[in-house]
Amino acid sequence: MIRRRFASGFCIATLAALVAAGLPATAQEKPGGIVSIGGSITEIIFALGAENRLVARDTTSSYPPEAADLPDVGYMRALSPEGVLATDPAMIIAENGAGPIETINVLEGASIPFIIVPDSYSAEGISAKIIAVGKAIDEEEKAQILADDLRKRLAEVTRASGERAEGDKKRVLFVLSTQGGRIMASGNGTAAAGMIELAGALNAVTGFDGYKPMTDEAVIAAAPDAILIMERRVDHDSTADALLQMPAIATTPAAKSRAVIRMDGLYLLGFGPRTADAATDLNHALYGG
């Protein structure tokens, strides 16, 4: 369920700063202007043909390329209220997890509709997200069409993967980072776990929730058949070599077959309009086809 906040109060210090800067305290003079916080929210708004209503977006909104032309209000988990409100929005739509909480409290207290769209890493969750955004921007009919199409395409992917016996499904380890020589991996309830399941594979780690560092022994015991990582702007082969040479990974089936799969982070984990394509691509990378 989305949460709408139309509170009348506003942080006095922030209001004073805006007035001093010559900026309006509300968005009444710019009807329809939307600040989108979260890459999937921005993608959905573009997919619904409402991109002309966007006045700003956050740093994670890297797709489509045209989004780069919009003012950037900062990383979605490190927002400043002044940066967001300076764009003079009539509405703010954010993914769950936007922050910090102090900024969210100020934005929720402004006389601007503030809508948080929760994430659920499943086919139904994506459809609900699309419909929620469509309802917020008065594009419900287009949103329903987009959600139905996405649900149908995801069903085709999962139907094909459902024909594979549980014992034949590959075990995939999603590695978020290797900072300090420790592997930070995805457990239950994560976007990575949801995508691995949609692609017809098994998350190799189920002993914890969220993203956590793993011991070498735990990685070895997970015995992944493939390693999944986000695309980095560095030499791909060097990244794969360094990863596969780590003691925790070197003895795994993934290392023996050099099965490292790299995908764009927003494409892989955004759970937006392109998720069916991402699930299909991951399935093909794992099983061929």
Residues 114 and 190 in one domain: no
Q: Which of 118, 149, 182 is the last residue of a domain?
A: 118
Residues 114 and 170 in one domain: no
- Helix, strand or coil for residue 171? strand
Q: What mean pLDDT comes out for the span 135-155? A: 96
Q: Is residue 129 part of a domain?
A: no
Residues 266 and 189 in one domain: yes
pLDDT tens, position by position, 153-200: 999 888 877 677 777 899 999 999 998 889 999 999 999 999 999 999
Q: Which of 118, 148, 174 is the last residue of a domain?
A: 118
Residues 10 and 105 in one domain: yes
Residues 171 and 113 in one domain: no
Residues 114 and 179 in one domain: no
Question: Is pLDDT above 50 for 13?
Answer: no
Q: Determine the pLDDT at residue 193.
A: 97
Q: Is residue 96 part of a domain?
A: yes
Q: Determine the pLDDT at residue 228.
A: 97
How far apart are the C-alpha atoms of 87 and 83, rounded to whole Å? 7
How far apart are the C-alpha atoms of 204 and 212, rounded to whole Å? 13
| 12/83: higher pLDDT | 83
Q: How many domains does the chain have?
A: 2
How far apart are the C-alpha atoms of 216 and 198, rounded to whole Å? 27
Q: Is residue 181 part of a domain?
A: yes
Q: Is residue 144 part of a domain?
A: no
Say how many C-beta atoms besides its own lie within 10 A of residue 53's C-beta. 19
Residue 263, beta-bridge partner list:
230
CA distances from 271 to 42, 154, 245, 275 (A): 12, 12, 31, 5
Question: Is pLDDT above 50 for 11?
Answer: no
How far apart are the C-alpha atoms of 169 and 69, rounded to whole Å? 42
Domain of residue 43, CATH code:
3.40.50.1980
pLDDT tens, position by position, 240-257: 888 999 999 999 999 999
Question: For residue 91, with 0-12 CB atoms within 10 Å meaning exposed, 13-18 middle and 19 or more buried, which class applies?
Answer: buried
Q: What mean pLDDT comes out for the span 268-278? A: 97
Q: Is residue 247 part of a domain?
A: yes
Residues 105 and 183 in one domain: no
Q: Is residue 134 part of a domain?
A: no
In terms of residue numbers, what domain contains 99?
3-118
Residues 188 and 266 in one domain: yes
Residues 113 and 193 in one domain: no
Q: At what angle do helices 123-136 and 140-162 cross, to 10 degrees?
A: 170
Question: Is pLDDT above 90 for 134?
Answer: yes
Q: Is residue 31 part of a domain?
A: yes
Residues 32 and 93 in one domain: yes
How far apart are the C-alpha atoms of 109 and 130, rounded to whole Å? 25
Q: Which of 94, 62, 66 is nearest to 79 (CA)?
A: 94
Residues 178 and 104 in one domain: no
Using pLDDT thresholds of 50, 70 and 90, give the confidence band for residue 20.
very low
Q: What mean pLDDT comes out for the span 130-143? A: 97
Residues 80 and 179 in one domain: no
Whole-number average pLDDT of the chain: 87
Q: Is residue 152 part of a domain?
A: no
